[in-house]
Structure formats: C-alpha cells, structure tokens
Structure 1
Amino acid sequence: MIKTYKSLYLFLVTVVVLSGCKKFDESINTDPNNPTKASGTQLIANALLSLPNISSSPYGVHYPQYLSNTSFTDNSRYVTTNFNFYGWYTGPLMNLENVITNSALNASEGPIANQIAVAKILKAYFTWTLTDRWGDLPYSEALKGSANFNPKYDSQQIIYNSLFLLLDEANAAIVSGNIKNDIVYGGDVNKWKKLGNTIHLLMALRLSKVDEAKAKVEFNKALANGIMTANTDNLAYPHLSEQNNENYWYNSFTRLGRNWFAVSKPIVDFMKPKNDPRLPVFANKNTAGEYVGLDYGLPSSTTVIINNFSLLGDAIRQQNSPVYLVTYSQALFAKAEAAKRGWTTDAGDVTAKLNYDLAIEQSVRQWNKNDVTGLAAYMTNIDVQYNPLLALQQIGNQRWVHLFMNGYEGWAEWRRTGYPALSPPPSNNGIQIPRREGYPTQERSNNTANYNAAVASFPYTKVDDLNARVWWDKP
C-alpha cells in the first residue's frame, strides 16, 4: 500500500518526467513531458485521493441529520443553495478519463484491461454521486478539454443508463493480474470487480420509484456478476497518521480545535433507547456521562453549552480514521429490500429477514472493529426485530444508521424511501429539507444555453434550487 499518497504521487510523476532526460543522446528528439507509455495507475491513484471528499463534507452530513452545529448553523438551516462541481470534472474525472481513452498505458503496472476497468468503475462511482446531488449534468460531452468548453447537460436517466453500461464493460473486461499504486485495495482486481457490481446493485435500487422494471433487471444482473461478500471488500479510504493524508474530522476537531459538530438529537434519540452498540462509536458522552444529541438546525443566535451534548465520537475523528464509502452492509440492506419487493428469485420475508439481520450484524462489526458485544441483546429489541408489516421502514431506518457520516448517500436514500421520518429545522421560515443541490452560479454565464436547457427540463419543477427533485426522486 502506498505509505504517503500525495508525496508518492508527486515522486512518481517526477520520475516519469525525468526518465525522458536520462540519456541526452537518445532522447534529444523526445518530449519528456509526453512519455510513450502513460502511467494509468498514477492517474488512478490521484483520483483516489478525492474519494474522502464524497463523504467528508460539512454539508452532506447535515441533510440526513447525522450532525448538528454547535455554532455557525447555516449548513443545517440550508442557507447555501448553489454548489460548485467544477473541481470534480477537472480533478478525478479528468484523471480517469485520461486512463480510459489513453492508447499508451504501461503494462508493467498491471494488465492494461484492468487499469481501464478500474478507471471505469471509479468514473461510474464519482459520476453517480454527482448526479444524485445535482440531477442532470454534463456527461456525454464533458471531459473533452479545449474541444468543448460548453458541454450539454444529459438527463439523469441517460446518465444512469450510461453508467450501467460502463460498469458492465468494466465487469466483463477484468482479467487475472493486479495493478500497482492502488491505495484502497492493494491492487486486488477481484475486489474492484466486486465493488463495481455492488455500485451497480445500489444504483439499480435507486430506481425503485421511477422505473421498477429497469431496477429489477439491473439489480439481478449485478447480483449474478458478483457483489461484496464481506467487510473486507468495503471501499474505505485509508487515512494515515500524517498531516498530508489525515481525516477531515481530525483536522476540524483536533488540529483546528473546532468543536462545531455534535451528534444530532434525531439519531441519538433513535439509537439510545435500543442500546445500539454503535452509539459509543458514533458519539462521545457529555460531561455528565450521558449520550445527548443536539437539536438539529438551531437558529444562529442560539448559544450552545457544548459540554451538555455528545460531540462526534473519537473513533471517527482520529487522524487515520477510515472513511466508509461503499460497504457490504449496504449491499445486504439492498438485498433485503429487493427480497421484500419481490425482485429476486428467492424473494420473500425469509430472505429479507436473513439479509436484514446480517446487514445489522455486519454494520456493527464494521463500526466496532468486529466487537459484537451488545449485538445479541440489540437484536431482541421489538423495534429492531424484523417485522414483515414494517420491513421497508425497518430496512430504511437501519440503513440510515449504518450510513452515518456518509452524508450524501444517507440523504439520497432518505429522499428515495422517506425513512427515517425526518423533519426540517423548526423556526426556519418553512424551509424544507433539500431534495437536490443547485448548480454552480458560474454556469449561468459560462454555459448559459445548456444551463437554461437543463433547468427547463427538470422533471418536477423548473427552478434551480434546493426544492427541485432529481429524476428518480419521484413524489
């Protein structure tokens, strides 16, 4: 595994450039900045550095009400409407596109087919997270560089269909042989294959309200191709105990000394009465030795006595705490829901319960580092025990708990299912929980015609704000 991700990336790039100058007589007519063999795995590694930004956001954690602000409460009151997506295109997506379209990749870094397949899986994952935030986005005409500075916006439906095909291509292309410079799976392409199919599975579930027939086909295809089978398959970004590669929340709490984030009252009040064994990981006790969640979306004028409430748990904000992005438990909750909906060949409550129970167990194992103390007692709780009449609600609620701190994913699942039953902040001028994020304000002038066309084609309202809905978020 790469020891110092950013430093090693710069070192590797330097080596590639300088290698073109080693023998002047042989390279006088060679451009050292355009080597004949490109390093696809270095480009992939650089894209991987952006993974924690998908989850570690001071905005995403508030939409599903995982955290409450102790001060500066604008984020939890939805003051910001427009968010910039440019960095995702010029950063990780451009790096990955350069791998996918490059005809001179270096086979010494692993089978070229695998380098391209991994790049396609990551492109699908990054794009999926973006379209679920904004809806319609530049896709088919994006990443063309100077060839097209004004790409059209594709509908979210078209983007989803394109990503399903991209993941199909990746799954079919993977061959034996690991790749280099892989900081999440150590080059194990079998784990990448499982990840791609798990992403495919979760994307399929997202269509449950808008196109159930398509959802069912894509879901079962992903199952057949092979998804995650253990927590060791999780996509978890491995932060390091060093400043250049440290966890976002460590930087916020410890390095900057900002106790700005308490665990929210909604999630503490859901977990505490059930003696959820994950609560001590998610939250610290207050100075009185109790778990107390902070009211969500407090007015900015409120003075919070921080010691009275539970701040984000120490285990989640260590310098090297991992960030969980796509997990085995997510896949199990998806299988439980699909079985309950009758999508799979083994559909029914028996299969749904089996996957639901296992999903909770694996969630506890993930968060508690395989310590299952308290799990057996937790599973006897009447509100936790699988109930065929309340199954979809139970699955949705438990999925919400499991996705703690993976804010944008928890928010997407809340929008799709309505679980748990969250309320917007009181005394907030009637502003509702956002259904999407607004486009960058620059797009109104940088890409005017395509921006206007995208807003005009919104499926439910025609306003670029937080209340418009993405395609799959059917009222």
Structure 2
Amino acid sequence: MKIFKISLGIVFSIAVFVSCTEDFEEINTPPNAIIASNVDAGLLGQAFANAQMRSMRGAPGGGAGGFQLAQSLFADIYSQYFANTATNFDSDRHIQVGGWSNGVWNYFYQQAAPLLQFVVDFTEENGMEVENAIGRVLKVHAYQRHTDYWGPIIYSEFGNGETSVNYDTQESVYRDFFNQLDIAVNALKANPGARAFVGHDQVYAGNADQWLTFANSLRLRVAMRVKYVDPALAKAEAEKAVADGVMMSNADNAAVLTTPFSRHPYWTITNWGEFRMSALMESILSGYEDPRLQIYFSQTDDFTTSGEGKPYRGLRNGLPRADLDQGALNRAFSDMGVRWLNEVRGGSAAGPEFRMMCAAEVYFLRAEGALEGWAMGGTAKELYEKGIEMSMTEERIAATPEQVAAYTASMSMPAPVVYPENSAWNLPGSSDIPVAFLENGDMESQLEQIITQKWIAIYPDGWEAWTELRRTGYPDPYPRVASDNVDVPRDEVMARLIFVEGEYNSNREAVEAATQIPELTSRGGDTNATRLWWDAKQNKPW
C-alpha cells in the first residue's frame, strides 16, 4: 500500500469537485496521509478538477477572499492594473502584509500542492500515461506562479513526510520545469487523440491534444522567463516549443470553467469596492484609444450620474491612508468591466472563465523571441500584430477586422493623466511608443511595444503581468504616491515576497537555510527588493 505523506504535519484532505455544476465538498482522510489503494479513477478525476481551481485561486478557503489575498492585493496592484482604495490596505504602498502572504503560502501547500502531487504520483504508479502527462503540465503551471512570488520554494522535497522540508533554488525549479514538460509532451505526442479526465477536466474537457498545445505554450513562457539569465537555454526551449506546436487561435486558450457554484473570484470581490483602475491603465488605454477600455472597465459612477468629466478614470497607486476616502474614490474612478461584475450590477451568474493562458500571450512571446533572431515562425512585426488581433478578436472583445487594422496602424501614444481634484497627482504620458510597430526602431523600443501590448492582452492576470514587468521593465510603471517600505522606494517595483512567518514557526531550519541561498544573498538577501533568479535584465526604466 502506497501512502503519500504531506510535509509540515498538515492534515491533508482531498477537496472533491463533484461535477461541473455542483459545489466543492471536502472528504476527510487520516491525518498526514492519503491511502492511494483506496482511491479509484473517479475520485482521481475529482481530485484533478479540484487541483485546477485551487491552484488558480491561491489562498485560504479557495474562494474569492483567498483570491483577493493571493492576487488582488499583491500582483494586481504591483502590476499596476489596479490601485487600492480601501483605507486599511497597505500593499499598494509596497507593504507585504504578513497575514496575507502567510495565507497564500499555506493554502498552496495545504490544498493545491497535495492535490497536484497526488494526481502525478497516482497516475504514474498506475500506468496512466496521458493523465500523468496532463497532471505534470498543471503542476508546472501552478508551481511557476508560486516560485515567481518568492523565488526559492519548497518543490522537490514536498511530501517527504519529514518535519523539515528543504527549499529548492528558483534556478533548479525552473530547470526541472523543462524536464517535467519533456515527460508530458513526449507522452501526449505518443497518444494522439487521447481523452483523459473526461467529465472532470474544467479546462479542455479531457482533450489531450489541447493539453499538448498548452504544454508547448507553457514551455515557451518558461523559456522566455529565463532569457536574461540563460539565453542559450531560453532559445533552445523556445524553439522546441514552437516547433512542437503552440497556441495559434483563441480556440486553444486555456481557462478554468466557472459556474454559479464555482464563480470567478472577481465576480465577488468587485462588489467589495476596494480597488479601481490604475493611472497607468488609463494612460495606455485612453491614449491608444483602445476599444478594450470599455470592456475591461466600467464608466465611473460620477460620470454616469452627472455626465461630466471623463467616463473612464484611473487612480494613482500608493495613496497614503489620509487620502483613501474609499467611497469618494470608488465613485470617481473606474471599476472592472461588467463582464467581471455580479448579476445585480449587470454581469452574469458566474463571471468569465478563469484564464490560465491565451493565444495572444503566445504570439507576443514569439514576437519577443523573433526580436532575438530565434526561429519563431514569423517576424517580430508579424507576430506582434497577430497577438493584437488575437486579443481584440477574443469573444470578450469581438472587434471587427476594420477596428483591428486601424488600431494596429495607430501612431497614438499613452496619454497624460490629469486630476482636477489634486494637481499634485498629475502625470505625463507613461511612454512615447505608439501601437504601430516601429519597424525601424531600436530593439528595446520594439520590446516595449510587445510587452505593453501583452500587458493589455492578458488582463486581468496580474500574476503574470507583475512577473513580466519585473522581468522586462515594461510597461514603464508610474511612481507610487508613497511607499512605506524602506527597501522599495516609491519609484521602484516590488521584486518579490519575503518568506512567511508560518515557515519560521513550523519549518524554521529549512527556511533559515533558504535565506542563505546564494540566489538571494548575492542580490540583497530575503527582502522585497531582491531580484529573483530570472530577474537579470540590466538598465530597466526605474
């Protein structure tokens, strides 16, 4: 009998997703163990379904509040998609609130990681080649998000049954991602047309060929992430991904299904009124006269009531507590678009699908690779323009060919942001780059165009947007009004999250050893200003 031990003495339970139209339930198992011989293929599928949703939601409970802690209050703010309006929320001033990040870390290792590990281990031991491959792809996606917050994480020793669980360097984690994807891709290529987790797979409904496309696309993302720290590895893996077949159309997009029993978290947290569109978003979308503005955001309540002023407004990031008049700010600045709102506010019963990766992102990754001279199946200009097309013709946008052509040819630039209520907040346009690809421009300007359009296209995935901002420096963020973090001034970007308090209580020896990993010590130690392993680009805008 195989028993899977869980680290840190956690009482492990499989949270079972009963079906696509029923809510999550909990099935309790003996402390610290799952007995694999008692789990059948049906329960395996339910565990896989849970792993899909829980690896995306990110914090205690797995619900909207957990997502708020994991993404809305960290990555969404640090990517400058949104700005905080809630008086007692300090993360917008570069503060890592310990209780929040502790919850994110604990939730991942208590709920998401055990499910992922169980699916991979069980399918491997039972010769379920296709299911194992899909489980590995999902595991890479989940752990990439996790390591991109902290850098070194618990990875290879997770589930070792010991009271002390060592951390892996981010470098070793990333290099293993390629190994995991090799195993998965080889298995999926050997089983064309296969079906797996049918009735439980909330992303591709069991279509293994689509998981293969996702695996290759994910390899491309992972490859580009290491471009500045290991260019040779990045090139080899990126070219391998494109040669094997990446996302080519919006039909390939990866997104977790939402239902009235498993809604998109924004459906709930937008109703709490704690954030609004950022100044950077206003500058870029309004300056570009981007038709996605009216889809991504709602007109302000003040404009709707009076008809005066601008209908779409973005707020400065990092306002001091004294300036956080939540009610007034929420009325004066733009909330998310109706697509993410609840039914009472004009939205749907569940919100949109919970997107993991899209074809537009893949085209922009290929465009960046083409800039480097890699074999990406097209020129940088061709792939850049195709990325814009993919974004603007998604179901949520549905732009016409004429709108796409006009936008792609536009020489408009990001606009200044003006605040009649406080001129001290006024900002110049965030950049001088247009939408139209600068064929004769320098490579850095072309990269800024590519990453800026990717930032727009992957909205509202703040998790990935913050990561790409740190990696490339784009889009060039506005300085915050204030920073309360001595390590991260207001005109710089949070580089990572520091290790959490709970680890010092339950895994002290390992976490203290992790703080001495050269990846960290050579760049400043366990601080919010310390760049991650892949964060090696020089001469960023800030």
Q: Do the two structures share a fold, i.e. TM-score over 0.5?
A: yes
Output one character per residue of 1:146-185: Cα deviation in whole Å (capped at 9) or x when no partner. Answer: x223111111111111111001100111214212211111
Residue in structure 2 matching 1:270, options 264, 284, 287:
284
Residue in structure 2 matching 1:455, options 497, 515, 534:
515
Tell me, in whole angstroms, the C-alpha distance in 1 between the residues paired with 2:18 and 2:111.
22
1:411 and 2:469 correspond: no
The residue aligned with 1:294 is 315
- Deviation of 1:309 after TM superposition, in Å, equals 1.6
Residue in structure 1 matching 2:437, options 386, 404, 408:
386
Output one character per residue of 1:339-382: Cα deviation in whole Å (capped at 9) or x when no partner. Answer: 01112275xxx711110001011111226343336323212211
The residue aligned with 2:77 is 62
Tell me, in whole angstroms, the C-alpha distance in 1 between the residues paired with 2:116 and 2:358.
22
- SS of structure 2 residue aligned to 1:433: coil
The residue aligned with 2:163 is 149
- Deviation of 1:191 after TM superposition, in Å, equals 0.8
Structure 1 residues not aligned, in runs of 5+:
15-30
Output one character per residue of 1:87-130: Cα deviation in whole Å (capped at 9) or x when no partner. Answer: 21222221121122226988xxxx92111111100111111111
Residue in structure 1 matching 2:140, options 106, 121, 124:
124
Tell me, in whole angstroms, the C-alpha distance in 2 between the residues paired with 1:36 and 1:356.
46
**8 Å CA contact retained: 1:136, 1:155:** yes
- Deviation of 1:133 after TM superposition, in Å, equals 0.8
Percent identity reads: 27
Residue in structure 2 matching 1:45, options 46, 49, 56:
49
Query: Structure 1-normalised TM-score?
Result: 0.87
1:464 and 2:526 correspond: yes
1:102 and 2:116 correspond: no
**8 Å CA contact retained: 2:213, 2:245:** yes
The residue aligned with 1:34 is 38
- Deviation of 1:408 after TM superposition, in Å, equals 1.4
Superposed, 1:32-431 pairs within 5 Å as: 34-35=38-39, 39-53=43-57, 57-58=71-72, 59-72=74-87, 73-82=89-98, 83-84=101-102, 85-102=105-122, 112-144=128-160, 147-174=161-188, 175=191, 176-179=193-196, 180=198, 181-240=200-259, 242=260, 244-254=261-271, 258-286=272-300, 287-288=302-303, 290-302=311-323, 303=325, 304-317=328-341, 318=347, 319-344=350-375, 351-366=379-394, 368-372=396-400, 374-382=403-411, 383-388=434-439, 389=441, 390-429=445-484, 430-431=489-490
Between stretches 385-394 and 161-170, larger displacement belongs to 385-394
Which amino acid in structure 2 is aligned with residue 223 of structure 1? V
**8 Å CA contact retained: 1:278, 1:367:** no
- Deviation of 1:35 after TM superposition, in Å, equals 4.5
Which amino acid in structure 1 is aligned with residue 359 of structure 2? Y
Tell me, in whole angstroms, the C-alpha distance in 2 between the residues paired with 1:314 and 1:8.
24
- SS of structure 2 residue aligned to 1:301: helix
- Deviation of 1:38 after TM superposition, in Å, equals 6.9
- Deviation of 1:461 after TM superposition, in Å, equals 3.0
- Deviation of 1:427 after TM superposition, in Å, equals 2.9
Tell me, in whole angstroms, the C-alpha distance in 1 between the residues paired with 2:175 and 2:382.
31
Tell me, in whole angstroms, the C-alpha distance in 1 between the residues paired with 2:19 and 2:45.
15
Tell me, in whole angstroms, the C-alpha distance in 1 between the residues paired with 2:194 and 2:142.
24
- SS of structure 2 residue aligned to 1:68: strand
- Deviation of 1:51 after TM superposition, in Å, equals 4.2
Change (3 A) 1:377 1:235: same
**8 Å CA contact retained: 2:391, 2:397:** no
- Deviation of 1:6 after TM superposition, in Å, equals 7.8
Change (3 A) 1:277 1:35: closer
The residue aligned with 1:446 is 506
Tell me, in whole angstroms, the C-alpha distance in 2 between the residues paired with 1:396 and 1:470.
19
- SS of structure 1 residue aligned to 2:276: strand
- Deviation of 1:40 after TM superposition, in Å, equals 2.6
- Deviation of 1:86 after TM superposition, in Å, equals 2.4
Tell me, in whole angstroms, the C-alpha distance in 1 between the residues paired with 2:268 and 2:376.
47
Tell me, in whole angstroms, the C-alpha distance in 1 between the residues paired with 2:116 and 2:21.
17
Tell me, in whole angstroms, the C-alpha distance in 2 between the residues paired with 1:354 and 1:32.
50
**8 Å CA contact retained: 1:96, 1:119:** yes
Change (3 A) 1:470 1:305: closer
Tell me, in whole angstroms, the C-alpha distance in 2 between the residues paired with 1:305 and 1:167.
45
**8 Å CA contact retained: 1:51, 1:237:** no
Tell me, in whole angstroms, the C-alpha distance in 1 between the residues paired with 2:472 and 2:124.
45
The residue aligned with 1:28 is none
Between stretches 208-217 and 375-384, larger displacement belongs to 375-384
Change (3 A) 1:435 1:370: same
Output one character per residue of 1:286-307: Cα deviation in whole Å (capped at 9) or x when no partner. Answer: 2325111112221111124432
Output one character per residue of 1:435-468: Cα deviation in whole Å (capped at 9) or x when no partner. Answer: 0011111212322222122111243434322111
Output one character per residue of 1:174-222: Cα deviation in whole Å (capped at 9) or x when no partner. Answer: 2142122111111111111111111111000011111101100111111
Query: Structure 2-normalised TM-score?
Result: 0.77
- SS of structure 1 residue aligned to 2:83: strand
**8 Å CA contact retained: 1:184, 1:235:** yes
Tell me, in whole angstroms, the C-alpha distance in 2 between the residues paired with 1:104 and 1:270.
47
The residue aligned with 1:18 is none
Superposed, 1:428-439 pairs within 5 Å as: 428-429=483-484, 430-431=489-490, 432-439=492-499
Which amino acid in structure 2 is aligned with residue 315 of structure 1? R
- Deviation of 1:320 after TM superposition, in Å, equals 2.5
